[in-house]
Structure 1
């Protein structure tokens, strides 16, 4: 049963990823240079290896627990000209960072932040139903890497057989965390890498 649900969850994650690629990838670091923004979305040669590891519930990006900083969503700001949203995040140590997300992802986050309900079940509602059906609980989500100027995250599920770690986009991880009132974190090294990239742009 658990194995089948993991396959279904992976299929939904794959659907979200394909949808994400056709719309222009969210979760990027903010840039006003359109050409450099486009160049950020090249496939990493190690992507398939990372996916294979995560399919087995192994997170190759995992770091020491002491490196985690609590993370929360401060606000969503629409960028009307680009039909995107700047998602401002607050870190537990007082620092902030910003990600760019598409309309669908920002809408899903806003729905959860404001405790709203859609007229019909949305994709994340279906995902939540599957999690509950499999007796999976969401332990936490962690923003655990910046690769080619894209953020990566992991959702940590608690199952009867132990923990299961799934590779995902931060935007999807945020919605899952909000739905399940699960804690959100970012690794200190990822925050530092983000700050270095922002510094190089100024």
Structure 2
């Protein structure tokens, strides 16, 4: 199933959570990531150019320079509270499957303009937004509070 990055939220301890939603935006798969990873994903979401390339930008440049391309990403599994992901890379006739962190898969997919997929197993673990959010939080998620998003964008520069 193809999912999209709805936004970045923060839990009570300040840890970033990437919110992946289905096409109806009624179900969400929250994935906790580190601060630096969230920053890289936010930059890619907003298309904010950097004066120097970040690691994910360099990864794409290396692939392109070597004649390879990232053809897909999949958040594939959850084991012991750790998500796993796979990166699909093609180079000519050769195909490669690379184990990566979900945050790296998401950051690369956003930069490469390719869909983010989740496995069937994880589809069954998506949460119903209606059941987990109160009215205020639902409204915030739906709007992603333009003011807060603008402030966050400013902080990325």
Structure 2-normalised TM-score?
Answer: 0.73
Gaps of 5+ in 1: 1-68, 196-202
Name the counterpart of 1:168. 100
SS at match of 1:82: coil
Residue ranges of structure 2 left out of the alignment (5+ in a row): 128-157
Quote the Cα distance in structure 1 between the aligned partners of 2:126 and 2:2. 16
Matched, 1:87 2:18: yes
Q: Closer, same or farther in 2 for the Cα pair 1:185/1:123, shift >3 Å?
A: same
What is the CA-CA distance between 1:181 and the residue it aligns to? 0.5
**Contact 2:89/2:95 (8 A) holds in 1:** yes
Select which of 127, 130, 136 maps to 2:59: 127
SS of structure 1 residue aligned to 2:73: strand
Shift of 1:188: 1.6
**Distance (Å, rounded) in 2 between the aligned partners of 1:133 and 1:97:** 34
Please tell me whether the aligned partners of residues 75 and 118 of structure 2 are also in contact (alpha carbons under 8 angstroms).
yes
1:150 pairs with 2:102: no
| Superposition misfits of 4+ residues, deviation over 4 angstroms | none
Whole-angstrom distance in 1 between the partners of 2:51 and 2:60: 16
Question: 1:162, CA displacement in angstroms?
Answer: 2.5
- Per the alignment, residue 9 of structure 2 pairs with 77
Question: Which residue of the partner structure matches residue 183 of structure 1?
Answer: 115
RMSD (Å) for aligned C-alpha atoms:
1.9
- The structure richer in strand per residue is 2
TM-score, normalised by the number of residues in structure 1: 0.58
2-side partners of 1:121 and 1:83: how far apart?
26
